[in-house]
Structure 1
Amino acid sequence: MRLVVLGMGYLGAAHAACMASIGHEVLGVETDPARLAKLKTGQLPFYEPGLTDLLNKTLDSGHLVITNSYSEAAAWGDIFFIAVGTPQKRSDPSADLSFVDAVIDELVPQLRHDALIVGKSTVPVGTAARLSERAAALSDKVTVEIAWNPEFLREGYAIKDTLQPDRIVLGCVENGSAEQTAREIYEPILNTETPFIVTDTSTAELVKAAANAFLATKISFINAMAEVCLAAGADVLAIAKAIGYDPRIGHRFLRPGIGFGGGCLPKDIRAFMASAGELGAAEALTFLREVDAINMRRRNRMVSTASDSCGGSLLGKRVAVLGAAFKPDSDDVRDSPALNVAGQMQLQGASVAVYDPRAMANARLLFPTLFYADSVDQACKDADIVMVLTEWSEFVNLDPVVVGRLVRARTVIDGRFCLDKRRWTDAGWEYRI
């Protein structure tokens, strides 16, 4: 089928390349000149395992073509996916839908045939209905149907989550073309018995918000337990393991640490709270304020732990921060807990050296005043504290004996509960969480 993907950022590039890989003819539209130039030469402006290879494969095959022309897209396709960003507004917690609105405003007046527009971006409930009215006012003698097909991508697993998803959700109007069209688009995926949930657009929009809110709550819950365990002298890892065996709870997302970050969970739960307020249901989501507060408190707690390890002050201390990305297998530093902690320690007078296998360039743009090491060894040289704040396998598998020869003091803070405590303590390290 002929598909158009509007917006070739993380979501759009992954969707476009994956859809092209299963045989569709895909036209990707990207209006940012720098990003467009990279994409046309097979380069991604971000890191995602396997996606660069898939992008080049689909470009070489001709199944994927990239342009900056909305007029070309309007004439070429019948099915359009919206994959632009919905960042948090600068002025309040709600989602900025200006990029989504701009897609409708630019595309719809140029359509000369009936079209299906399918949103994939994360949006507040009611967006599809509002865009339907907007499109109807802009369309000239053509019918524009709008449906919503939220994405559930995990950074580091974009290809798998697109081609082998846990479920596909589609919100659409009754008696429209969206359901049958989506079944044809995703036929190779649905043939593997992937659950296909068809509902109205408001429900589909809320599915994504509810999923992210639940995951954020689960992470903050185990981090709240970590605070209680610290006060009680108990083992939070044992608690997480024990309660995770309950099938109603499960082990996933029960790893304590410095909390969640990235471009989705933090801004999405805040936007969800703002949306609930606009609907008159603010009280239903007041618990998410505490979820957010627990998450941010974990970062402050990590800085306090580092300060305590240095006798109550970080002034003049050398700190090695291993990790800048908000999670491993990504170069995304948006709302990164690791960089937030590093920045706070620098403000308290510490000399901070940061190292990350993939996120150094993005980290430098966000926190230019930090020192960025070229390797783990350089970061740890003469350090008073080593802090593991992103659980890259390179850090998890470090040899504590070798690292111990580099540092000034053998104190390690495991911000992700990912190190082997006994292995580090046997090597003479003070292990802290």
Structure 2
Amino acid sequence: MALKITVIGTGYLGATHAAAMAELGFEVLGLDVVPEKIEMLQRGEVPMYEPGLEELLRKHVAGIEGSSGRLRFTMDWAEVAEFGDVHFVCVNTPQKHGEYACDMSYVDAAFASLAPHLTGPALVVGKSTVPVGSADRLARVLVELSPAGEEVELAWNPEFLREGFAVQDTLHPDRIVAGIRSERAEKLLREVYATPLSEGTPFVVSDFPTAELVKTAANSFLATKISFINAMAEVCEAGGGDVVKLAEAIGHDDRIGKKFLRAGIGFGGGCLPKDIRAFMARAGELGADQALTFLREIDSINMRRRGQMVEMTREVLGGSSFLGKRIAVLGATFKPDSDDVRDSPALNVAGQIHLQGGQVTVYDPKGMENARRLFPTLGYAESAVDAVRGAHAVLHLTEWREFRELDPAALGEAVTDRVVLDGRNALDPSVWRAAGWTYRAMGRPTA
């Protein structure tokens, strides 16, 4: 008999996972506690921008003409428990307000709501990013609260989605990690992921703590690599070197590699910053805080980049005040191919300049609505050309393809001063300089 799958939490991770499971051929029931979210998903609409996700949803959501009908949504915990053989928990684990630690309240609530309805054998699979040690506790919760007791098992299967590539990363993952305690749990997960496994995706079996640590360890490594090249940019700035050439040269060493070595205004988003902070907090609780003190410096380098971009902007405008100056900011999201503005370096820089008296106008291909909600006092434009009209400086802060393809000569007709600051080292300096622009970027010679 074919496995039936439920997905608890239909935000970014859950909506993608539910649609992907339907695409892999499973009957899927998604649950959320927010009625508006469920109504949207039932119409085949997603509450966020993610390339390919809405098309995938519409292909499978029941009630949409021409769909497979394999994907439905509900708010009823009893229905979910009765329907599913495998229950994926995909709820959010944000940073606690005023602390570094991770807020486990949504995960705890999901387990407490599901367990009392589990009357027969089931596998509950955690996908949320949680502090190491959580799975062990949650496994006990399931046994204590479930009528089926020991027949309800837990597995931990961390997600590795990259925003902008989430559909591809779910259907064709570069690895699948399974923290398990029984052969039955492994067998079920191998069944769920049979298609990617048949394509050669590695399947890594581990204990609970290792599975919980994989995502935070991976994110900490990426954050370290980004902050490393940004620290090198600071040294290049002081010593007259070119961080782009430096990154190219060290990237040829295959022990280092080229990826994540583009210096700029640093990382943001809903994962990297909160994950490394939660990791530090948890290490402290375990008495291993010294092992991760380097992450405090990684976080500090990253946050410092934003202030340095503000200072570089002040410098090119004459070095004193932003008053009476018009600044165009190209980019609001924390990365391209997303509408996510959580902890966005681009918006942080825009906000700082605005607070210091600058007239800031922002344009982003997908993040305008979310940016407006977060920073209602900034100016917003409908296009890049509208954003730069009358600007004394243009800041390129999110590396959308649209911005790389802009015509500097045409853009130059709209600005007051042809000054561009490339916060992502993604534009071609020679092209912009040839069109009469002063081009500046962090860690690069000004000539």
TM exceeds 0.5? yes
1:75 aligns with 2:75: no
The Cα of 1:134 is off from its aligned counterpart by 1.4
SS in 2 for 1:228: helix
Which structure 2 residues correspond to residues 328-343 of structure 1 after superposition, within 5 A?
A: 328-343=336-351
Please name the residue that 2:117 is paired with. Answer: 110
Kindly, what percent of the aligned residue pairs are identical? 60
Aligned pairs, number: 432
SS class of match (1:243): helix
Aligned to 1:344: 352
SS of the aligned residue for 1:321 comes to: strand
Aligned partner of 1:380 in structure 2 is 388
1:50 aligns to what?
52
Partner of 2:22: 20
Shift of 1:36: 1.1
1:349-368 mapped onto 2 (5 Å cutoff)? 349-368=357-376
Matches of 2:419 and 2:145, distance apart in 1: 63
Which amino acid letter does the alignment assign opposite residue 401 of structure 1?
A
Cα distance in structure 1, aligned partners of 2:146 and 2:78: 14
1: distance between equivalents of 2:110 and 2:424? 39
Greater alpha carbon shift after TM alignment, 31-40 vs 221-230: 31-40
Query: Hey, what's the Cα distance between the residues in 2 that align with 1:35 and 1:141?
Result: 31
RMSD: 0.8
8 A Cα contact 1:145 1:176, kept in partner: no
Q: Give 1:176 shift.
A: 4.4
- SS of 1:39's partner is helix
1:188 aligns with 2:190: no
1:86 maps to which residue?
A: 93
Match of 1:332, SS state, is coil
Q: TM-score, normalised by structure 2?
A: 0.96
- Alpha-carbon deviations, 1:191-234, whole Å to 9, x = none? 11111000001000001110000000000000000010011111
**Does the alignment pair 1:275 with 2:282?**
yes
Partner of 1:412: 420
In the alignment, what sits opposite 1:302? 309
1:323 aligns with 2:328: no
* Secondary structure at the counterpart of residue 65 of structure 1: strand
Contact 2:118 2:148 in 1 (8 A): no
SS at match of 2:95: coil
Q: Secondary structure at the match of 2:108?
A: helix
Letter in 2 for 1:421: P
Pair 1:31-2:33 in alignment: yes
CA distance in 1, matches of 2:380, 2:152: 50
CA–CA separation in structure 2 for the residues paired with 1:320 and 1:155: 25
Deviations 1:105-135 (A, max 9, x none): 1000011112110000111101110101112
* Counterpart mapping for 1:154-165 below 5 A: 154-165=162-173
Greater displacement, 270-279 / 28-37: 28-37
- 1:145 and 1:71 map into 2 onto residues whose CA distance is 18
Query: Using the alignment, how far apart are the partners of 2:265 and 2:370 within structure 1?
Result: 20
TM-score, normalisation: structure 1: 0.99
1:230 to 226, 237, 252: 237
Amino acid at match of 2:347: L
| CA distance in 1: counterparts of 2:172 and 2:196, whole angstroms | 7
Amino acid at match of 1:181: L
Instruction: State the shift of 1:388 in Å.
Output: 0.4
Q: Of 220, 242, 259, which aligns to 2:227? A: 220
Larger mean Cα displacement after TM superposition, 44-53 or 128-137: 128-137
**Aligned equivalent of 1:203:** 210
